[in-house]
Structure 1
Amino acid sequence: MDTDGFWELIERSALRADTPDDRLRWLTDRLAELPAAEIMDFTLRLDELRRRADSHLLWGAAYRICGGLCSDDGFHYFQAWLVGLGRDGFERVVRDPDELAELPAVQRLAGRALRDWAEDEWPSWEELDYVADEAYERITDGSEELDVVLERHGHDVQLTPEPSDERWNPRDPAEVVARFPRLARMFPVPPVETPPAGWAFRSA
C-alpha cells in the first residue's frame, strides 16, 4: 500500500461512516480483506505521516486548541486525528499549523468550554492506531502480533512524539500570536505563565 492507497482508505472511511467508531469498524473490515503485507504497509504509512506532523510548532497549536490539555499522548492522538481529516487538511496544517483555524472541525470548538465538547468532537483519534492490529489479528487468527512482525522486519514505529524543531512557550500570548494569529483569535491565550517543567514538550 502506497501513500495514495492509504489516503484513499482514510477518505473513503469518512464518506462511508458517520461517526469515528463507524469509521474504525469500516477501516478494520477493509484492511482485513487485504494481504498481511498491505496491513503492515498501512501502519507504516500512518507512522510516516505522524513523523511529518511531529513538531513543537504543531504541538503548540494543539495545546492552544485544547486549552493546555495536550500531553505527549494527547499530541500523539492529535496527529492521528489530523490524518483522519484527510489529505488536503493534513497537508495544509503540516505546512502551516495556523491553517487549523480554517478547518470546520476546529471552528466548531471555538468559543466553547472544554466541558461542553462532545467526545467525538475532541481533536483526538487514539483508536486509529489499533485498526491495523485488529485486522492483522483477524486474518492471522491471532497467531502473531503486528508490532512483533514489524519489529522483525526492521520497522521501528514511533509510539510517542519526538519533535526536533525549536521549543517555545505556548503560554506566552506574544509567542502564540506571532505563530498562530488566527488560532489566537479563536482560542485566546490567558496572561503569560511560566510553563511547568517538561509540560508537554518532553525534556531531551
Structure 2
Amino acid sequence: MMTPDEFWTLLDGSAAAADRTGWLTARLARLPAAEIIEFEVHLTAQRRRVDTRLMWGAAWNIMEGWCSDDGFWYFQPWLVGLGRDAFERVAADPDALAGLPEVRRLAGRPMKEWSDDEWPQWESLNYVALHAYERATGDDLDEALEARGLGRVCDAAPEDPRWDYDDPTERRARLPRLTALLG
C-alpha cells in the first residue's frame, strides 16, 4: 500500500515536470491498482484538512473575491501541490500563506497579469488517480472506491462556521498577515 510518505514523494517529484498532471498520471498508472486507490485516499485526507471556511477566506483574499465553490475546490489541490512542508504549515495556520513565495508573487498585482501557472488552483490534480486507474485497469475508480466503502470527494464542504470574507475587520482578525500582505 502507498504510505503518506510515498504520496508526498510522488507529489514532490512532479514539481520539476513541465506537465505535473501528466507526470503524476503516468507514474500512478504504472503502480498496482491498490496503490492508485491509496493515492486518492491520501489526497482526500489532505484536502479535508484544508476544507475549512478559514482557508476559504484565505483563498478568497488571495483571489480578490473570485473564489467560488469550484474555485475553492481547485485551490485545495494547489495547496497540496505546494509540497509537504508548505502544506503542513498552511494546514496548521492558513495565515501562513502570507509567507509563501507563490502567494507573495501575486500580492499587489492585478489578477489579469497572473500567468496560468501562477493561479492558485490545480483542478486537474482532482482527476489524476481517476485517469491513472482507468489507464492501468480499464475500470472505473469510483466503482473500485465504492467496493471498498469509500467515495471520491467532489466538492468542498467546510463544516466550521461561516464568516464574511469581504469584511476587512474580520479578515484582519482571522488572517492578519495575509490581510496585511494583500490589503
TM-score (norm 1): 0.86
Q: Deviations over 1:1-29 (max 9, x none)?
A: 12111001001111x31x4xx11111111
Q: Runs ≥4 in structure 1, deviation > 2 angstroms?
A: none
Q: Deviations over 1:63-118 (max 9, x none)?
A: 00001111111111100000000011111101111100100100110000011111
Query: What residue identity is the alignment partner of 2:3?
Result: D
**5+ long unaligned stretches in structure 1:** 189-204
Residue 41 of structure 2: aligned partner: 44
Q: Superposed, which structure 2 residues align to 1:184-203 within 5 Å?
A: 184-188=179-183
Identity of aligned residues (%): 57
Residue 178 of structure 1: aligned partner: 173
Task: Quote the RMSD (CA, aligned, Å).
Answer: 1.0
Deviation for aligned residue 1:152: 2.0
Deviation for aligned residue 1:150: 0.7
Query: What residue identity is the alignment partner of 1:54?
Result: D
Query: What residue identity is the alignment partner of 1:159?
Result: C
Query: What residue identity is the alignment partner of 2:151?
Result: D
Q: Superposed, which structure 2 residues align to 1:13-28 within 5 Å?
A: 13-14=14-15, 16-17=16-17, 19=18, 22-28=19-25
2:70 aligned to which of 63, 69, 73: 73
Residue 135 of structure 2: aligned partner: 138
Aligned residues between the structures: 182
Distance between the aligned counterparts of 1:90 and 1:103, measured in 2? 10
**5+ long unaligned stretches in structure 2:** none
Distance between the aligned counterparts of 1:11 and 1:46, measured in 2? 13
TM-score (norm 2): 0.96
Please tell me whether residue 98 in structure 1 is matched to residue 95 in structure 2. yes
Query: What residue identity is the alignment partner of 1:165?
Result: D
Distance between the aligned counterparts of 1:157 and 1:134, measured in 2? 13
- Range moving further from structure 2, 145-154 or 106-115: 145-154
Residue 108 of structure 2: aligned partner: 111
Deviation for aligned residue 1:146: 0.7
Distance between the aligned counterparts of 1:69 and 1:12, measured in 2? 30
Deviation for aligned residue 1:174: 0.6
Deviation for aligned residue 1:137: 1.4
Higher relative contact order (CA 8 A, sep 6+): 2
